[in-house]
Amino acid sequence: MQDFFQQVPAFMPSIQALAFNLVVTIAILVIGWTVSTVIGRGLRKLADRSPRIDPTIVPMVYTVTVWAIRVFVIIAVLARLGVQTASIIAVLGAAGLAIGLALQGTLQNIAAGIMLLALRPIRAGEYVSVKGQGDGTVAEVGLFLTKLIQFDGIHLTLPNSLVWNNPIINYSRNATRRLDIDVSVRYGDDLELAMRELRELIEHHADVLADPAPQVMVTEYRDSAAAVNMRVWVDNAKYWDLRFDLYRQAQSRLAAAGLQLPLPVREVRAHSGEPVQGV
């Protein structure tokens, strides 16, 4: 035991070097992790303040930036501990190839996310419909997933590959949008009067755009009524308000003009069923 204590001073330089190296390693890890988070948040705040940066790309840029810094930090930590990083990088490359082959679907989502951000068929804040998958307002296009908020407040999360590989209908991209409203006018009523009343309604409505000019036309003859179509153009933000208002006013406008609501009519014919007398 006395010999052990006598040899301790000889090991002190090595112990001190190891302790110092460990403290420096922990400091690099903590500082690097903190710096990655700060830089990521700074980029997000900068993007939120700039009107020139599309909000759609912010989540993906944040994720890529943060983890790129953290990967370099981990490599620096391993190098500080004396680990041969060249061999680790080679092993990680081989492992990445194997994982990539096993997770082809995940890589497809990443590639699809990059294409969505590069070509921008959808952007944050736009109302879109992904054919066969769902519709809603785009909340985020991430590295793996696209998040939509449906009109009833339900969050819909779709893998990027499903969004990219299906037809996308974007209802918000254009500043204006066409609105078609069908009104039924029963047979026997004055069709020309009905069309004049509906034309006056849309021509004097504050939300209907004058260019392109609004139209009123007969589009179909149904079983008990003629279908009269009101075709107007409206600012995208006012589309639903105008739609609901025209449906409310059209019927009351026709009723005030003396036109009645068309009802289904069925003609029933009866015969006596008596046998025909032969000659």
Tokens encoding 85:
């990083």
Regions in the chain scoring below 50 on pLDDT: 279
Q: Compute, in degrees rounded to 10, the torsion defined by CA atoms 152, 158, 160, 163.
A: -60
Q: Both ends of the chain: CA-CA distance in Å?
A: 141
Distance CA 9, CA 15 (A): 10
d(CA 80, CA 78): 5
Global pTM reads: 0.61
SS (HEC) of the chain = CHHHHHHHHHHHHHHHHHHHHHHHHHHHHHHHHHHHHHHHHHHHHHHHHCCCCCHHHHHHHHHHHHHHHHHHHHHHHHHHCCCCHHHHHHHHHHHHHHHHHHCHHHHHHHHHHHHHHHHCCCCCCCEEEECCCEEEEEEEECCCEEEEECCCCCEEEEEHHHHHCCCEEECCCCCEEEEEEEEEEECCCCHHHHHHHHHHHHHCCCCCCCCCCCEEEEEEECCCEEEEEEEEEEEHHHHHHHHHHHHHHHHHHHHHCCCCCCCCCCCCCCCCCCCCCCC
Query: pLDDT tens across 174-215, in order?
Result: 999 999 999 999 888 889 999 999 999 999 999 999 999 999
Beta-bridged to residue 220, according to DSSP, are 227
Question: Distance between CA atoms of 75 and 126, rounded to whole angstroms?
Answer: 40
Compute the distance between CA of residue 216 and CA of residue 231 in angstroms, rounded to an integer. 6
Domains of the chain: 12-102 (1.10.287.1260), 121-170 (2.30.30.60), 176-256 (3.30.70.100)
Give the pLDDT confidence score for residue 279 in this predicted structure: 46
Which residues, in sequence order, are CB contacts of 169 under 8 Å at separation 6+?
A: 128, 129, 131, 135
Asked if residue 146 lies in contact with residue 157, where contact means CB atoms within 8 angstroms, the answer is yes
